[in-house]
Structure 1
Amino acid sequence: MCRGLLIFCLANWAISGAEIEIKAQEKSTFPDGFLFGVATSAYQIEGSQNAKGAGETVWDRYRETDPQLFHNSSLGDRSFCDSVNKWRDDVNLLSDLGVSFYRFSIAWSRILPDGLANNVNQEGVKYYNSLIDELIAKGIRPVVTMYHYDLPMVLQNLGGWTNPYMVYYFEDYARILFTHFGDRVKHWITMNAACPGYGDEDFPPFMKDPPVAKYFCVHVTLLAHAKAYHLYDNEFRLKQKGTVGITVDGRWYEPRGFQKVNREAAERTRDFQVGMFLHPIFHPDGNYPARVMERIEKTNKQEGYMRSKLPQFSSEEVAYVQGTYDFLGLNLYTTYLVEDFNRSTEKPSYDKDLGVKISQDEKWSGSASHWLKVYPEGARKMLKWIKDTYDDFPIIISENGFSDRGELADVDRIKYLQGYLSAILEAVYEDSVDVEAYTVWSLFDNFEWVAGFSEKFGLYHVNFTDPSRKRTPKLSADWYKRVIKERRIVEVPV
């Protein structure tokens, strides 16, 4: 990444008004080599889950058996955006936007309908080959996420991400992807690492109990990521010359007030929510954050467990996971306020171990998602915290987006993106954070997980009642197109 714009003359203390204005303009301009893209995930846009040889996912199963857990998502057909058939149209939209790259995910169950590597679905391979070839023909880099929450149901039946053998199943899956697509895909994200649905009731598989589920998922996820990274390093990198990273959720956790106990609670929350994924990979010491291990050890004793709820890395595993990155993908959306909260009388849980109360400032602007409040300053703080805690390495903002009800004149989305882009550039220029790319979530309105179609994140509106799933550009699509073309944060349209 070119650093020419990051060098400022600190010796020039006398700056005129005109020079201040020029500096302000520079700080709204993106550095040379900075890349712009958009993102989607396979399950949310492709549709046709039962077509072209795809197998059942955990989402298919729970939407069928427990539709009351989803916001009207069990109604109507399930073709969603029908991107599995409209991929050429979608690539044309990407080309018109002028993006440098497209971050999309591959559906594990469309490649391996049974989850395991003994049955490769050639129809699925053909679909992704066609999409990748079309992107490259249009000058758009494919950035591929191997796993984005849509686990094959046959693997969930074996325990999903609590099963240690998932490490090997994921390695097999990664080998097939590298083999079939790695000659053209040069940027791989192993997974969206977050473990939703393990330790909570917000996502399938809705595995709130036992309280170890979240910790098992984190542990197995990290080892699976490391397996895929080393596989690429040992067998594919020399010939394919690509990069491999992981994406984590970068929500910022701010203390509510200035009390020391709340500052400590916010630090603890960052370690639990973000550091558990980052520390083993990016910290020079490896392993989980000390605060996390100490806190869980304390609650283990109080609750009478014979062994830690958090699986322990062996010294060999610490070394194996440590350093398994070429870049970090960071999903930036929102900020939470944190207070210390005594949960000692509660039954064992991840929340009890964390011991905080989380909220948001009622003064922050809202969105169509109850959890997404607008606080751009949190994005800069998260980026600086990562740099200060884990040193310097390339970061791509792998998701950043705003939800509304699908209006075409989506000025609130533009204001949100504008504010977060400004905060990201402040992190680049003021804090010297190595942010190399930015990705809007999402290309178009889609199936928004348990929220169904009630929340819309797209730059393009999708008419879900139209059999052709017509795409219509919103005001934000035109705005982002200008940002990419002019390489600066442009004004909000009047």
Structure 2
Amino acid sequence: MVLLNLYIVYFVVCILSVNSTCTTNNDEDVRKFPLNFAFGTATSAYQIEGAWNVSGKGENIWDKYVHKNPNVVIDKSNGDVACDSYHQYDRDIEMLKELGVDYYRFSLSWSRLLPTGSVANVNNDGVDYYNNLINGLLKHNIIPFVTIYHWDLPQKLQDLGGWTNPIIQDFFEDYANFVFRQFGDRVQHWLTFNEPKQICLCGYGQTTFAPGLNMTGVGDYMCGHNLLLSHARVFHLYDKKFRIKQAGSIGITIEGTWSEPFSSSKEDFNAAERFMEFEAGWFMNPIFSIKGDYPAVMKERIAVNSAIQGFSKSRLPEFTEEQIRLLKGSSDFLGLNFYCSTMARHINTNVSSEPSYEDDANVYSYVNQSWPHAASSWLTVTPWGFHNYLNRIKNLYDNPEVIITENGYSTWGGLVDNDRIKYINLHLNALLDAIKDGSKVTGYTVWSLMDNFEWQQGYSEKFGMYEVDFQDPSRKRIPRKSAKYFIDVIRTKSVKHYDPEYYEINDCTNSVYV
């Protein structure tokens, strides 16, 4: 197993010493996780660190995007200060210790370490910051789980074309080599990228995320191609130069959304499958499938549409046979971010004269309004979709090891967040169902440790188990009810089994929920 290989004896002793929190629960109501199962929580650099232009940090694409276009964020906010974790990492570590997590997933700011994106210009203050954070985590037996890239490309590299320019592969490999050398003696769990689809589709195909280039059907595919090849190069770099000495593992995090057919028709079933192939298969298939390469449906549809539109070749770049071989199996585990499900319906449309990812996928995807909703308009509560998606991965990709690297629920604020507790509990039960079905899921990560800058939603939506007061210059953090719930889950390595239709939070006298 990837996680807990260093501390398993310590955690087994702790688990065996803990009794159930609520004595009113019957034994049959409690579901146990495997002893080597790990729990954590997550953040990302731009969303929490702040200190955007101090201590030698360079400008990144989100800095530029929100400063130049403040209206793209619903509350016109930005990550200039955010949670001020650059100055308050000690409090962050204290919160993680309070929760009792096995690991903490955080990301490195490329432009804080290498202000221009190049290893020719190292910011030692940035190196010191991450050394202090990593050492502080290890001091409290918290495993650092590090994402190398979480959406915040140095602006100097974007000026060269960013992820659409093949030269980015060289820069990313150099950057990864640098962080392995700097931190790999203490960091043994790595992710190359967080959510490639959001990087490419939302940042290069649309204007949802930085850099907001709006090059749909072209820029997004170029981005995805270079990103995948960058991932493969860094995986093999780690494999050849660092794995034996540092005894670590490296993977990638991909977001998955379960797609439910609108009807039982073959057309809608195919539309749902097509949605999932275009959404996550785009990046999972080249790495985790037996044959490798992009999903067949992507290759076929984009090639046909490109020909109709007068292109001389497919807008989807083509891998060489050597690149296909390099990509296949280039991950020790699959990091899965799962939040919700969607509905899918087949549509009959003529191909537009202009390239479009939406035309290529040809799926009408929408949120079922009858499903329970979080504060985020896109976030529905569909634990059955989580179960289905894990089974899909098991069956489609020869049952790889999966670590849930994000799963979470948004509210509008407040310390009593019963809906978040219910969401997490339902998804943990669905996860246990998937393990029972044979899925190799070894870890679960709540998004997020604390409220933070949620991209276009700014600070309006709250995902944190800790509330952050963004009006307070000290950015005071206060635990929510969900934090106390998660403490109980981690301590007991278990969740209560219940009928979700009648679920209520149990506030019995000696409960941590009180």
> Is this a same-fold pair by TM over 0.5?
yes
CA contact (8 A) 2:333 2:401 kept: yes
**Residue 481 of structure 1: CA displacement?**
0.4
Between the aligned partners of 2:452 and 2:132, the Cα distance in structure 1 is 22
SS of residue matched to 1:145 = strand
Name 1:12's counterpart in structure 2: none
Report matched runs for 1:145-224 at 5 Å: 145-192=147-194, 193-194=196-197, 195=199, 196-209=202-215, 211-224=217-230
Give 2:367's aligned amino acid.
Answer: Q
Give 1:71 shift. Answer: 1.4
- Report the count of equivalent residues: 473
CA distance in 2, matches of 1:145, 1:24: 38
Q: Which runs of 4+ in 1 moved over 4 A?
A: 21-26
SS in 2 for 1:125: helix
> Match of 2:104, SS?
strand
Equivalent position of 1:382 in the other structure: 389
* 2:103 counterpart of 1:101: yes
The Cα offsets for residues 65-90 of structure 1, whole Å up to 9 and x where unpaired, read as: 11111112347x83110001100111
Partner of residue 343, structure 1: 349
Does the CA contact (< 8 Å) of 1:144 and 1:189 recur in 2?
yes
Percent identity, please.
Answer: 46
Specify which of 32, 39, 42 is matched with residue 39 of structure 1: 42
Q: Quick one: which of 32, 50, 54 aligns to 1:51?
A: 54
Q: In structure 2, what is the Cα distance between the partners aligned to 1:421 and 1:338?
A: 25
> Offset of 1:117 from its aligned partner?
1.2
Instruction: Tell me what 1:78 maps to.
Output: 80
Alpha-carbon distance in 2 for matches of 1:187, 1:390: 22
Secondary structure of the structure 2 residue equivalent to 1:472:
strand
1:208 shift after superposition: 1.8
- Partners of 1:301 and 1:34 in 2: how far apart? 49
In 1, distance between residues paired with 2:216 and 2:422?
42
Answering whether residue 288 of structure 2 is matched by residue 282 of structure 1, we say yes
Are the counterparts in 2 of residues 222 and 321 from structure 1 also a CA contact under 8 Å?
Answer: yes
Matches within 5 A, 1:266-281: 266-281=272-287
Aligned-partner SS, 1:334? strand
1:475 and 2:477 matched: no
Partner AA of 1:68 in structure 2:
N
Distance 1:350 1:22, change over 3 A: same
Alpha-carbon distance in 2 for matches of 1:231, 1:289 = 26
Amino acid at match of 2:104: Y
**Partner amino acid for 1:174?**
A
Do the aligned partners of residues 345 and 231 (structure 1) sit closer, same or farther apart at CA in structure 2, a change above 3 Å counting?
closer
In 1: Cα distance, 2:267 partner to 2:28 partner: 38
Per the TM alignment, residue 289 of structure 1 is displaced from its structure 2 partner at its CA by 1.0
Question: In the TM superposition, what is the alpha-carbon distance from 1:461 to its structure 2 partner?
Answer: 0.3
**2:67 alignment counterpart:** 64
> SS of the residue aligned with 1:438?
strand
> Residue 17 of structure 1 aligns with which residue?
none
* Partner-residue secondary structure (3-state), 1:174: helix
Secondary structure of 1:44's partner?
A: helix
**Where does structure 2 lack aligned partners over 5 or more consecutive residues?**
3-24, 497-503, 508-514
Aligned match of 1:357 in 339, 364, 385? Answer: 364
**What residue number does 2:434 align with?**
427
SS of the residue aligned with 2:205?
coil
CA contact (8 A) 1:253 1:338 kept: yes
Conserved in 2, the CA contact under 8 Å of 1:64 and 1:74?
Answer: no
Structure 2 match to 1:230: 236
Matched AA of 1:143: F
1-structure distance, mates of 2:341, 2:187: 33
1:112 corresponds to 2:114: yes
Inter-partner Cα distance in structure 2 for 1:34 and 1:310: 39
Give the Cα separation in 2 of the matches to 1:329 and 1:204. Answer: 23
CA, structure 1 residues 409+151, in 2 after alignment: closer, same or farther (shift >3 Å)? Answer: same
Residue in 2 aligned with 1:263?
A: 269
The CA deviation string for residues 262-302 of structure 1, in whole angstroms up to 9 with x for no partner, is 00111111111111101111111111111111111111121
Tell me the CA shift for residue 341 of structure 1: 1.3
State the AA in 2 paired with 1:45: I
CA distance, structure 2, for counterparts of residue 321 and residue 211 of structure 1: 23
Q: Which amino acid aligns with 2:393?
A: I
**Is 1:453–2:453 an aligned residue pair?**
no
- What is the alpha-carbon distance in structure 2 between the residues aligned to residue 139 and residue 383 of structure 1? 29
Match of 1:144 in 2: 146
Aligned to 1:239: 245
CA distance in 1, matches of 2:137, 2:430: 30
CA shift digits 1:435-471 (9 cap, x unpaired): 0000000000000011100111000000001111100
| Contact kept in structure 2, 1:479 and 1:493, CA below 8 Å | no
User: 1:442 and 1:179 mapped to 2: Cα distance?
Assistant: 28
Residue in structure 1 matching 2:406, options 399, 412, 417: 399
Q: Distance in 2 between matches of 1:73 and 1:492?
A: 36
CA contact (8 A) 2:236 2:330 kept: yes
Hey, what does 2:90 align to over in structure 1?
A: 88
- The Cα shift of 1:201 comes to 2.2
Q: TM-score, structure 1 length as denominator? A: 0.93
CA distance in 1, matches of 2:344, 2:242: 44
Distance 2:155 2:344 in 1: 36
Structure 1 unmatched ranges of 5 or more: 3-20
Pick closer, same or farther for the CA change 1:301–1:326 going to 2, 3 Å. Answer: same
* Counterparts of 1:411 and 1:23, CA distance in 2: 23
SS where residue 433 of structure 2 aligns?
helix
**CA RMSD in angstroms, aligned pairs only:** 1.6
Written as runs of structure 1 = structure 2, the 5 A alignment for 1:326-341 is: 326-341=332-347
